[in-house]
């Protein structure tokens, strides 16, 4: 079984990637300090597609390489957003080129550039970013998934999401079908930015995630969330916890 990856920077950010009950860990994570800013990402190689593990690692490495090469510290928010979009397009192309045949390798990825009182988020697939303030989730990325579409259309209710037979079916992913949603979130002292693959949020509901994330430092929170998810996990689990201020 793949080893657990546990890594962080100081007392501000911590990430854990755990294989859960599976032999392979198809998740990947990135924590990259960039001067006074941070670039964070989690990716989930698509189970059932050959090369999921390779695709998730290629996605976060492309993101890292893009920012290490092209990011200038004086960039404004729009320039950061465009650089994120460029990294996603390059990762999508790279995964398609390395795939043995179209549609056989893919990955989700959610990334966050955290700068001065703002987080710029990019997302493709059903990994998520949450902004938690005073014990409540005040912002969350939208999943690119069948279940999210059914929920938005009112076909199913929130209580049906975690047990729905199509809950793992994504509609967009790097290497398969690219759509990048971007968000800009204002962050305040005490806020928690949480990135997770579906091994976490398919196991723990949003209210419990907010509650578990609201006490302690980033490493303690990450360990607590992964420990709770492991009680019933069926998938790899990856989480990054960033605490502002």
pLDDT digits (tens, 9 = 90+) for 168-209: 678 899 999 899 999 999 999 999 999 999 999 989 999 999
Per-residue confidence (pLDDT) for residue 162, from 0 to 100: 63
Buried b (16+ CB within 10 A) or exposed e, 1-37: eeeeeeebeeebbbbbbbbbebeebbbbbbbbebeeb
Look up the CATH architecture of domain 5-243: 4-Layer Sandwich (3.60)
pLDDT one-digit tens code per residue, 114-124? 998 999 999 99
Say how far apart CA 197 and CA 30 lie, in whole Å.
13
How many residues in total does the chain contain? 245
Q: What is the pLDDT of residue 198?
A: 93
Q: Tell me what the pLDDT averaged over the chain comes to.
A: 90
Contact 34, 73 (CB under 8 A): yes
Q: Which residues of the chain have pLDDT under 70?
A: 1-2, 47-50, 102-103, 146, 148-168
DSSP code per residue over 29-56: EEEEEETTEEEEEEEEEPTTSTTHHHHH
This prediction has a pTM of: 0.92
């Amino acid at each position: 079984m793949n080893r657990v990856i546990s890594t962080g920077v100081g007392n501000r950010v911590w990430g854990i990637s755990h294989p859960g009950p599976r032999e392979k860990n198809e998740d990947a994570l990135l924590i990259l300090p960039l001067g006074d800013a941070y670039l964070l990402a989690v990716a989930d190689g698509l189970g059932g597609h050959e090369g999921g593990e390779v695709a998730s690692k290629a996605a976060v490495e492309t993101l890292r390489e893009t920012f290490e090469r092209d990011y200038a510290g004086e960039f404004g928010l729009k320039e950061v957003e465009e650089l994120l979009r460029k990294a996603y397009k390059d990762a999508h192309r790279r995964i398609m080129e390395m795939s043995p045949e179209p549609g056989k390798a893919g990955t989700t990825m959610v990334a966050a550039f955290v700068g001065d009182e703002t987080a710029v988020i990019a997302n493709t697939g059903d990994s998520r970013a949450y902004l938690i303030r005073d014990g409540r989730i005040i912002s969350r990325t939208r999943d690119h998934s069948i279940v999210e579409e059914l929920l938005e259309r009112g076909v199913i209710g929130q209580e049906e999401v975690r047990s729905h037979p199509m809950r793992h079916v994504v509609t967009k992913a790097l290497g398969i079908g690219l759509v990048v949603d971007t968000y800009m979130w204002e962050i305040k002292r005490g806020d928690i930015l949480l990135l997770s693959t579906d091994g976490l949020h398919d196991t723990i509901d949003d209210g419990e995630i907010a509650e578990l994330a609201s006490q302690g430092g980033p490493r303690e929170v990450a360990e607590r969330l992964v420990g709770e998810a492991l009680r019933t996990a069926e998938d790899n689990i990856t989480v990054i916890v960033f605490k502002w201020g």
